[in-house]
Amino acid sequence: MKAKLHLRKISNIRSPLSTGISSGFFFALMNTIVSAKLGAVSPFALLFARGILSLLILLPFARKEIPFLFHKRSLSLHFRCLTGALAVMCLYWTLGHTSATHGSFMNSLSPFFLTLFAFKFSPEKLSRIQLLAVGLILAGGAFVAGSPDLKAPLMVWAVGILGAVLQAVAMLFLKSSTGKHSSSLIVAGLGFYLCLVGLWNSPISLNYFLELPLEWVITLGIVSTAGQMLMTHSYRFLIPQIANILGRSIILWAALLDYIFTGRIPGVFEGIGYTLAIAGMVLIQAEMSGSRRRGKA
């Protein structure tokens, strides 16, 4: 009995952390898949297709909660889904104009903005160790941004950073939503708003969608939905800033996938940046594990 209780305590500490990092892997894989075809596919059509697939996958699990979407207590969920869908739109546009690694890096800037917003709006504040970890991760991002191998026009940077800001806003609303709704409903709601944003400038033609590579679209839908579900789960147990930082391990996974698929080896600046980011994530995990053990003592 004591052994089972001990194992349960360990899983309670590690599960949200590993879930957050795993979501980063799925998002990096999504970005790699998107980058492979965005030159030939409209990003708005891609948003619409991804939203439809998310709805098809998750609505059977969330159908009983659909009436709650029309209640005023669901306002935070609608804000989360709308800002999240706009953030994905910015991300897909960015991926169409730069590499998956660089686009993932711009998206990984959201913890910086989330930390700023949290100081103003969130009752949960970061400890000194967590602030140090955030600093390491942001410093790592600065080294990656300064790498001579990763360059992009000013417009790409502007849209990429706008996406990171929108992502940070969405994550603030996500924390309150997880206390009221299931992960399936939250991610399905995002899928619905992705469809709406996709309709904004999508080439609405059945023939156009029929010409999309079916295997590629289905793979993208499954991978992106899995990433969203894992991220939403991690927000149930972690401070938003920490959950978002773990999800931003996307930049590390993106660099690894870039090496696997293209053979590109990161330069010196990138290598330093990734090392600092990993150190920050390890520090967060160690600090959270220690605080959980002190709380259980």
Instruction: Express each pLDDT in 146-161 by its tens digit.
Output: 776 666 777 888 888 8
Distance, CA of 170 to CA of 110 (rounded, Å)? 10
Domain containing residue 177: 19-296
Please give the Cα distance from 244 to 111 (Å, whole number).
Answer: 6
Tell me if 5 is assigned to some domain.
no
In a domain, 27, yes or no: yes
**Which two tokens mark 79?**
């804000």
Separation of alpha carbons 253 and 235, rounded Å: 20
pLDDT score at 85: 94
Q: Is residue 14 part of a domain?
A: no
**What is the model's pLDDT at position 210?**
65
pLDDT of residue 192: 94
pLDDT value for 81: 93
- Residue 217 domain-assigned (yes or no): yes
User: Domain for residue 33, yes or no?
Assistant: yes
pLDDT of residue 151: 66
Give the pLDDT score at 67: 86
Longest dimension (CA), the chain: 62
Domain annotation covers residue 64: yes
Counting the structural domains of the chain, the total is 1
Regions in the chain scoring below 70 on pLDDT: 1-17, 39, 111-112, 114-126, 145, 148-151, 202-211, 239-249, 251, 284-285, 287-297
On whether the CB atoms of residues 91 and 103 are closer than 8 A, the answer is yes
In-domain check, residue 79: yes
Residue 13 domain-assigned?
A: no
